[in-house]
Structure 1
């Protein structure tokens, strides 16, 4: 019932993510499935464009101003369509439409159910390292009135004013919160479910349909979209990787739009078609780059493989003249050089090797073979279907790119998971921070599409072998069989891969509960959250509260809007903060402490204990045990959590 009460937040999220982009998709000529699958890509790009423009123009980001900006962009696109007479994109696709609808419904319902069961309540938050920043960034955008990525990092970190941070997810979340009036936790959770249960199945279905030319393959891909736990579920079990999850969910549609547009390139280019391609590609790159820059590399790799396969197919056609053949090969080579340059630049300037290898060579290969990436539950049945689909795709030069793209994604995962040489890791997978989990999330989009193709290939073979349908009726009969397959696959997906807790590939430990579920021993304990909820009433307006980010204090700003420092889990580098972390409780006897208190403008302190010395957390003995200490007055208490006013410094 808690989830049902969020129907208005859900509707607002769907409107924000689909309505602006649907207009843009229509303007560039997309229709039916393509229009709705590409709509989130276009919406994200439009939100990024408007928020960035507002940032440079110093226009405040509010609900009305944001909607006005989106309306202007949409109007310009519609005007360009009529002025330039951009053609419609209608690729040749076989099969009935209603199984596709059934597959999309199955994928959406199963994914939403899984996420609802894992998150448990719309008011719960992920108690993971990155969550305070992501939730706090939505709060900061609303309060400061700026959603530009050029400066987002500095909204929560006074030590990094003007810092760039890719903020497509955060700007989108702020717009949903402004429109719905929902709190930050509910907004975040609804946005997460829409990304997983709406954007992801639509993109998978469109990519499968575009690559195969058959709606039945798209229908089965949509039903299979929740089958692999490496994406999207793993993205809220680890990290938490909200922006990266959005970027990966957008990737299938981002690739599919190029597949559909490339199929229509024939004859002399017209102005309308050239502008159409520029708008589609520009929209895609903008959305992916500001959702998460690393996703552009995977998109570029898939697009180059597609272009290379089309070029080779053209070269092999005997009726094509020499000049077009040479031009096609030259474009393919130039594309490869551009991709290599982009990869090299990203690996040198936007890279890191934060995480070392987590799997042995044998274990990494088993992960790939079993579709159980990064310690997630094995799905051998998906691998079997995917192998068949991969063989089918390889039989045609124009579709072989899809199988090669799967091989490329699997290779990147192997490097992150099992290769020990730092130079190799940094060069090849550095843009993903050499992280096993992030690379694991890239493979499912190709696995699912190939597996769906394999399922339909098997049904085709069975029909031909048994004589159930002649060559002229195979699509009609196949539609009904595909419907049965969708129902069976949907049921199997949920039974075979239920909601399971994450397995830590780095240390071999299995989580026992969802990080969204609060408990007495969780990072943000029940007592801490109860006390935080009262901060707007217990703290003087405008006053600053200090706390240990190794405790639940780092969530306080995101949940209440009270100035609690720091507002993320990273420890500030400030010498003043470090002094207070060790000695704040001695403020009455140490003048240096009061000097630091004054420079940081601190009036209150949250005592949530000394902190956890484990990974991502720190012990701060100066921010605990204030009972009996001179210079501190108790303001509020909830169990072991307490709030104190600092009186030692005047």
Structure 2
């Protein structure tokens, strides 16, 4: 854990990067308090997204200057709204300071609870996620650092020469910036951004979204903070499965979009102190940022907002408005829902044939158990969620939250318990991946559980405040409510942190093992020596399933196969399948591709049980038998060869 002190500059840089660029425009929109922080984060990430598209289009290399330019442009665009909304009365300074203090305590508490778990699970900040998708993500960051091009339309790492297709590079752009700012390695920058996303962006977003539904007094926020840190499906699950870094960021941003959309739609009912126009601008920015982080965030936002829109439509119908005003408002709501349906029906994804072996009933139980995709159950959290549902039904308030949670739960059940065309139509936007859909469930579950926790706290403290004075002394009565509150907090904290969280963090830990499924410690050591042994403009070939492709992320040397599986050229395929058997006849192929070095990490491969994928690279085993290579370095069974075809 002490290694993280060396990574502290990278963590600070990541925190600043996702918070400060958007602060001016959020302030000019007259957002204040937690809403200001949420607006700053959403606008900062939107700035990174816009800069990552605009800079390459203008021929500008990636760095902090494009971010600064976009931040200034957004601030200038927000300046007129500062004057347009000058009639909005700000809250008193004392009230703002008091509420800001409680917000800060809640966010810091949630961040510490999450951060400690993640730091311990990852181990050294130099560790990488030794997973199928992990190879691509760290290599994509390294590619941006080498080329200076973060465009989502130019990321062709696994399909060289196919520029034009969209791949979400917002995550990778942010990590590359952190690496640039403080000179951190790609693994350290990756883990720093993962930590900040999980322990800063997520707590800010989920508390911002949830607060209107359960916070009646400041202490309630602390309950929300405890809950934000203890649902395994987010943020922890996406740091294990995949690893799905872009989805980690996009899912963390969904509550920001919801937190702005809700008061914008129901401005009168929520008594929001933020100007209505500012809320809508922030909502558009948050939706855009989440979607550019990963497009399936848009569908997650739709899943939660459709019930909200339906309730709003019902309220509009009851308002004393002219027929034209009602028609315009209802027409807008219908148009948005229709647009959702059209986009949803047009989505087609590949890699969506996975099945999870569950019946619908098993999937439902797994979904409500709040330890999704784990071999355990978190029934304590389930009871809290059910309690929140009961409270909202009895009080007849915010009942759309129950529907939104039900929609998210239904999507998870479909992906986990069904197969075939029906599942494709409903959950294809998430590649029919139950893990990605499980990550949505805490967004709906946490507000519901927080409602129950807040009600429990109020009942306990009120009951102790009114205890019979004949049974206890006056002095004891004064402290009883505080003691009761501490007991409630302790109960929720210990009850929520069950076996599921331990299993989930152990899963993350196993995948960040220095001697993992992709790289052994010897192989990592050899890769770290490459900058001293291989020229910066060299191209390295090797079997990617043995981890050789990580030379790009760890040593910043270009590799022929940067992902475990991809659409590579015919010549690349021939080299992969035949090199070690071709002898000197391999030289024309090597010259054509520009390969000058090779790595051989033996026959231990990352296994996903599909032998056909590995056979494509059989020619990159036993490289030493080729007469056109010379071994120049070795660490254990890992060897580096120079290709001598001149």
- Whether these two folds match at TM > 0.5 is yes
Q: What are the ranges of 5 or more consecutive residues in structure 1 without an aligned counterpart?
A: 267-271, 470-475, 504-510
Cα distance in 1, alignment partners of residues 403 and 285 from structure 2: 25
Superposed displacement of residue 450, structure 1: 0.7
C-alpha contact 1:582 1:623 (8 A) present in aligned 2:
yes
Tell me the residue number matched to 2:33.
32
| Shift of residue 535, structure 1, vs aligned partner | 1.0
Q: Distance in 2 between matches of 1:424 and 1:121?
A: 43
Task: Report how far residue 233 of structure 1 moved.
Answer: 0.8
1:269 paired residue number: none
Q: Taking structure 1 as reference, are residues 376 and 251 closer, same or farther at Cα in structure 2, changes over 3 Å only? A: farther
Q: Deviations over 1:322-349 (max 9, x none)?
A: 6655555444433332221221123xx4
Establish whether residue 42 from structure 1 lines up as the match of residue 43 from structure 2.
yes
Equivalent-residue separation in structure 1 for 2:90 and 2:425 (angstroms): 38
Name the structure 1 match of 2:291.
289
Task: Report if the CA contact (8 A) 1:21-1:42 is conserved.
Answer: yes
Name 1:456's counterpart in structure 2.
454
Determine if contact 2:214/2:447 at 8 Å carries over to the other structure. Answer: no
> Pairwise mapping of residues 200-599 of structure 1 onto structure 2 (< 5 A)?
200-212=202-214, 214=216, 215-264=218-267, 275-316=277-318, 328-346=329-347, 349-350=348-349, 353-375=352-374, 377-395=376-394, 399-420=398-419, 422-463=420-461, 468=466, 485-494=488-497, 496-501=499-504, 514-519=510-515, 522-589=517-584, 591=585, 593-599=586-592
TM-score by length of 1: 0.88
- Distance in 1 (CA, whole Å) between partners of 2:90 and 2:358 is 44
CA offsets per residue over residues 43-74 of structure 1, 9 Å max, x none?
A: 11111112212122222222334334333333
Give the alignment's Cα RMSD to 1 decimal: 3.0
Corresponding residue to 1:138 among 134, 141, 152: 141
> In 2, distance between residues paired with 1:567 and 1:62?
23
Distance 2:299 2:78 in 1: 27
What residue ranges of structure 2 are gaps of 5+ in the alignment?
468-478
2:123 pairs with 107, 120, 123, which one? 120
Shift of the alpha carbon at 1:492? Answer: 4.0
Instruction: Report which stretch shifted further, 282-291 or 483-492.
Output: 483-492
**Aligned-pair distance for 1:399?**
1.1
Q: 1:255 to 1:482 in 2, by over 3 A?
A: farther
Aligned-partner Cα distance in 2 for 1:466–1:491? 22
Conservation of the 8 A alpha-carbon contact between 1:212 and 1:399: no
Distance in 2 (alpha carbons) for counterparts of 1:569 and 1:85: 56
Partner of residue 614 from structure 2, selected from 613, 618, 630 = 618
Please give the alpha-carbon distance, in whole angstroms, between the structure 1 residues aligned to 2:110 and 2:367: 23
Shift of 1:614: 3.1
* 8 Å Cα contact 1:352-1:433 kept in structure 2: yes
| Cα distance in 2 for residues equivalent to 1:636 and 1:290 | 42
1:309, distance to aligned residue in structure 2 (A): 1.4
| Residue 113 of structure 2: aligned partner | 110
TM (norm. structure 2) is: 0.89
Shift of 1:586: 2.8
SS at 2:106 equivalent:
helix
Asked if 2 retains the 8 angstrom alpha-carbon contact of 1:456 and 1:482, the reply is no
Shift of the 323–69 alpha-carbon distance from structure 1 to 2, 3 Å rule, reads closer
* TM-fit CA distance, 1:458: 2.1
CA distance in 1, matches of 2:385, 2:594: 59
Task: Determine if contact 1:605/1:645 at 8 Å carries over to the other structure.
Answer: yes
Query: Paired residue for 1:506?
Result: none
SS of the equivalent of 2:242 reads coil
* Whole-angstrom distance in 2 between the partners of 1:394 and 1:53: 48
Question: Residues of 2 paired with 1:65 and 1:602: CA distance?
Answer: 34
Structure 1 residues 154 and 441 mapped into 2: Cα distance closer, same or farther (>3 Å)? same
User: Residue 610 of structure 1 contacts residue 623 of structure 1 at CA under 8 Å; is this kept in 2?
Assistant: no
Contact 2:543–2:621 (8 Å) recurs in 1:
no
2:163 to 161, 164, 167: 161
Q: Secondary structure at the match of 1:636?
A: strand
How many residues align structurally?
Answer: 623
Secondary structure at the counterpart of residue 514 of structure 1 = helix
Cα contact 1:566–1:572 (8 A) shared by 2 = no
